[in-house]
Amino acid sequence: MYHNKTLAELSAMLQAGEVSSVELTQYFLDRIKAKDSEINSFISVTEEQALAQAKAADERIAAGNAGALTGVPFAQKDIFCTEGVRSSCGSKMLDNFISPYDATVVSKFNTAGAVMLGKTNMDEFAMGSSNETSFYGAVKNPWDLKKVPGGSSGGSAAAVAARLAPAATGTDTGGSIRQPASLCNLTGLKPTYGRVSRYGMIAFASSLDQAGPMARTAQDCALLMNVMAGFDEKDSTSIEKEVPDYTAELNQPIKGLKIGLPKEFFGDGLDPEVAKPIQEAIALYKEMGAEIVDISLPNSALSVPVYYVVAPAECSSNLSRMDGVRFGHRCEEPKDLEDLYKRSRGEGFGEEVKRRILIGTYALSAGYYDAYYIKAQKLRRLISDDFKKAFEQVDVILGPTSPNVAFNMGEKSQDPVSMYLSDIYTIAVNLAGLPGMSVPAGFAHDMPVGLQLIGNYFEESRLLNVAHAYQQQTDWHDLCPPGFE
Ligand code: GLN
């Protein structure tokens, strides 16, 4: 049925008139109604708007001016401001926030004629690796309902893995596209910093945040990137650089490709069962003609501590706009302005968000700024220099996305540091602003394992090509969680 088709297949069916967008949209809306209570992947389902968009898409297809994504349903992470629709970012603070405008990513999908089914669940303000910090309740992993889907784009990952939507958007500040993609058996791409506009994407850590696609295949991610990427004058860090056709280079041969294996990604801390499928993938790339090169990213171990100074520092500043005055949650009957601030923020934010605001405020305070924030910025430079050196030797870097498969709900929620370590292989990529991907590569302990590919700046096409070549030889990405076939 339709839910087993990839985005590319659905797009072809729509263009050929084999199905209408209204039929397809209704089909996925019905499936969400029937199945989402099992996994809690949506915060809002925008049924009426979706059907109206679908009707408009059908007219566009009939008139012969449709693009590849016209009429194709997808899900939008609730971090993107969406005009007229609740845009909560997974927080009680924004539970009552109906956005008055569209994020650039949202308008780009609208212009393409894609159909938004709804807004997906996420860790509060994108802080988390398990999707347990959402005000709207935890999301469950469709592969095992006792386990987490990863975070913070866990709702997007669970929705696509359970075939409730053919694709979704995610955002990745330290791993939030790649880690949930890995834990839910999806393909996800975090583009180069500046490639996709951050305008209207509710800010967590502005120097790290980047939006990207989550889907079943690299080909689908390429189709989504064609819509999402591009310069935006409304985002001052957006980069004015031509957008390639991301589907054009999917079929480049792998022969001669130099793949670097950083020794730091294969050491202590990596579950040996997770290492096995990664080693098999390396062997397969060798068979395809790639050259494997051992490399080192010597400052990798610093990436988690550096991130947990930089990201909280930026979030403490970004979240200061949620003050109960202009928008979002406001406490009942404030006594005075200070009481309004304190209680609105105290009631509106969850535990993890408060922890980060406190850490960030501390790191930025006059007495500690040099010792923490400035020090972290210097180390951040060393971490990106490691990659610069590595890319003088190799074309792409390969390793696991996450040291472990999906863990049990509640297992790490009382131990923030062990939760933070879930992103040990993904965070350095954000600190350096590089593109990274996660690709389904097999199973360990009966749960999906993701292969991470890291590219040089603006080499998204190459990453998609390297992932696509692998997906032509394997069928991990086709596997569907039992109960959602
Ligand atoms: N898990 C990381 C964190 O909690 C990364 C989150 C993200 O990429 N948004 O900050």
Give the pTM: 0.98
Q: Is 147 a catalytic residue?
A: no
| Class (C level, CATH) for 2-256 | alpha beta
- Is the minimum distance from the CB of 174 to ligand 1 under 6 angstroms? yes
Separation of alpha carbons 304 and 55, rounded Å? 47
Whether 176 is catalytic is yes
Residue 302 in tokens = 């610093």
SS3 label, residue 448: strand
Residue 73 has pLDDT above 90, yes or no: yes
Q: Is 128 in the pocket of ligand 1 (CB under 6 A)?
A: yes
- Contact residues for 342 (Cβ-Cβ < 8 A; gap 6+): none
List of residues 6+ apart from 87 with CB closer than 8 A: 78, 79, 80, 81, 94, 97, 98, 99, 119, 202
pLDDT of the residue at 375: 97
Sorted by where each begins, the domain ranges of the chain are 2-256
Average per-residue pLDDT for the chain: 97
For 136-174, the pLDDT digits (tens) are: 999 999 999 999 999 999 999 999 999 999 999 999 999
Distance CA 111, CA 70 (A): 9
166 close to 389: Cβ distance less than 8 angstroms: no
Q: State residue 420's pLDDT score.
A: 87
46-61: pLDDT as tens digits: 999 999 999 999 999 9
pLDDT band at 411; cut points 50, 70, 90: very high
Q: Is the CB of 152 under 6 A from ligand 1?
A: yes
Active site residue: 91, 99, 134, 152, which one? 152
Give 171's strand partners.
211
Look at residue 367 in the predicted model and tell me its pLDDT.
92
Q: Is 324 in the pocket of ligand 1 (CB under 6 A)?
A: no
Give the closest residue to 114 by CA, choosing from 227, 245, 218, 26.
227
Active site residue 461: no
d(CA 59, CA 70): 10
- Would you call 229 helix, strand, or coil by DSSP? strand
Q: Which numbered atom of ligand 1 lies nearest the CA of 128?
A: 4
Which distant-in-sequence residues (6+ apart) come within 8 Å of 484 by Cβ? 35, 142, 161, 162, 163
Q: What is the whole-number distance in angstroms between the Cα of residue 152 and the centre of ligand 1?
A: 6
Catalytic option among 20, 134, 176, 422: 176
Q: What is residue 419's predicted lDDT score, i.e. its pLDDT? A: 87
C-alpha 105 – ligand 1 centre gap (Å)? 20
- Indicate whether residue 262 lines ligand 1 (CB < 6 A): no
Does ligand 1 have an atom closer than 6 angstroms to the CB of 153? no
